[in-house]
Amino acid sequence: MSNVAVIGSQWGDEGKGKIVDWLSSRADVVVRFQGGHNAGHTLVIDGKVYKLHLLPSGIVRPGKISVIGNGVVVDPWALLKEIETVREQGVEISPATLKLAENATLILPCHSAVDGAAESARGKGQIGTTKRGIGPAYEDKVARRGIRVCDLAEPDILKEKLERLVTHHNALLKGLGAEELDHEAIFKDLQDIAPEILSYADIVWKTLDDAQNTGKKILFEGAQGMMLDVDHGTYPFVTSSNICAAQAATGAGISPRHIGYVLGITKAYTTRVGAGPFPTEQENEVGEKLGTRGHEFGTTTGRKRRCGWFDAALVKQSIKTGGIDGIALTKLDVLDGFEEIKICTGYELNGEKIDYIPSGQQAQASLKPIYETFEGWSESTEGARSWADLPAGAVKYVKHIEELISAPVTLLSTSPEREDTILMQDPFSL
């Protein structure tokens, strides 16, 4: 049996929540390995809706261990609020079921303050950050001035580190014309929540090593999507962490050899939140129809998502750079009733045809999609649970996607409900 890593193959919002929940019923341990509370996963279980941001999707399933790895940046107040919210929905959460890496970096008020001030100062050049402090926290981590979960257990060290950190950020805030912060106040607030946060602190790499050695099945849950990867995405309109499967090992403290099968969650069309290039975007009735039928609003921000046709060239690139073995195709039912459906197979750039997203910012903005057009289907795919339930046109569409991206469709999702899933291969058995 293989461990499984789940990552997004587009710009995020591909429907990872449902697929991870579906897979978590087969796993023993579920691990978040990158990102922060800018991520948003929506789970629908027995008609009840759970909106998760920091908590791994396995938290809603009894008997599972949920892990927040060292690759995640953690807003401790947001975490405690989310724990409280999910508990109010009847979910039991305790240090026995939730493990927080002691070496995970914390997001503090100075990070969100700098994030918001810097984004506002960019004016028309904004990159679409959620202003939740994710980027500045990762910057501090790399610059070796970050505050980590383990620092909460050492008040004297914490106070010293915090004073240096806030002094650094106050200089930035002053330069941006924003209000400066008081490190003493932040220290006091951290002291108030330290006991509860530390109750979840864990040596995660050892926990995962023990799980691996005892034959437990581990599910690694990614956030965002490959086109937001800080190295391989549409830079600078990206997140501040790596999304690729290799990050599952680094962000959890486990050998890459133990990752196993990598499942790329892929929407049957394309969406994007915030600024940045989007070659297949449809700023017309098609885009509006996709957005309305797909309920395309961000789980975390509530922002309306930009919508467009499926981009096979983009997904194929994500498969190559992200280490994806097969995809889970989601929201196929949103395409029901379209008279014609288009798939982008490549681009035109300065008069030349290319089959990849280039790295240059101006080149990315200049891409013109090359489309293949398919006849749509009038029958409904919603709730289909077998190939026999799908219209012939939908089957043809899915099969052609497999050819274009050079990867199999392992799972097919036809509604937000967990059971409305067509399984071609069980990733845990591959």
Are both 133 and 87 inside the same structural domain? Answer: no
What is the count of structural domains for the chain? 3
Are both 238 and 338 inside the same structural domain? Answer: no
For residue 47 the two structure tokens come to 């008609």
Are both 57 and 114 inside the same structural domain? Answer: no
Are both 409 and 308 inside the same structural domain? Answer: yes
SS (H, E, C) 315-364: HHHHHHHHCCCEEEEECHHHHCCCCEEEEEEEEEECCEEECCCCCCHHHH
The Cβ-side half-sphere exposure at 286, using a 13 Å CA radius, reads 17
pLDDT of residue 91: 94
Distance CA 92, CA 62 (A): 8
pLDDT of residue 1: 56
Is the distance from CB of 319 to CB of 406 less than 8 angstroms? yes
Are both 30 and 178 inside the same structural domain? Answer: no
Q: Give 360: exposed, middle or buried? Use CB within 10 Å, 0-12, 13-18, 19+.
A: exposed
Are both 122 and 136 inside the same structural domain? Answer: yes
pLDDT of residue 246: 95
**What size, in residues, is the chain?**
430
Which of the listed residues 212, 235, 258 is the one where a domain comes to its end? 258
Is the distance from CB of 166 to CB of 183 less than 8 angstroms? yes
Distance CA 14, CA 311 (A): 13
Are both 296 and 165 inside the same structural domain? Answer: no
Distance CA 217, CA 224 (A): 23
13 part of the active site: yes
111 part of the active site: no
Are both 59 and 191 inside the same structural domain? Answer: no
Distance CA 315, CA 310 (A): 9
The pTM score is 0.93
Is the distance from CB of 27 to CB of 17 less than 8 angstroms? no
Which alpha helices (H) appear in 200-329, and where do they start and end? 204-213, 246-250, 285-293, 312-322
Which of the listed residues 197, 217, 247 is the one where a domain comes to its end? 197
Domain containing residue 152: CATH number: 1.10.300.10
Domain containing residue 283: CATH number: 3.90.170.10
Under-50 pLDDT residues of the chain: none
Are both 289 and 248 inside the same structural domain? Answer: no
Which domain does 15 fall in, by range?
4-103+200-258
> Which region, left, alpha or beta, applies to residue 47 given φ > 0 means left and ψ of -120 to 50 means alpha?
left
Catalytic option among 37, 41, 53, 232 = 41
Are both 72 and 218 inside the same structural domain? Answer: yes
Are both 164 and 175 inside the same structural domain? Answer: yes
Is the distance from CB of 224 to CB of 8 less than 8 angstroms? yes
Which of the listed residues 146, 163, 197 is the one where a domain comes to its end? 197
The 3-state DSSP class for residue 414 equals: coil
Q: Which residues of 322-341 are buried (b: 16+ CB within 10 A; e: fewer)?
A: bbbbbbbbbbbbbbbebeeb
Closest CA to 63 of 217, 239, 279: 217
For residue 95 the two structure tokens come to 């240090």
Are both 313 and 377 inside the same structural domain? Answer: yes
Distance CA 367, CA 370 (A): 9
The 3-state DSSP class for residue 192 equals: helix
pLDDT of residue 298: 67
Could you tell me the maximum CA-CA distance found in the chain, to the nearest angstrom?
Answer: 67
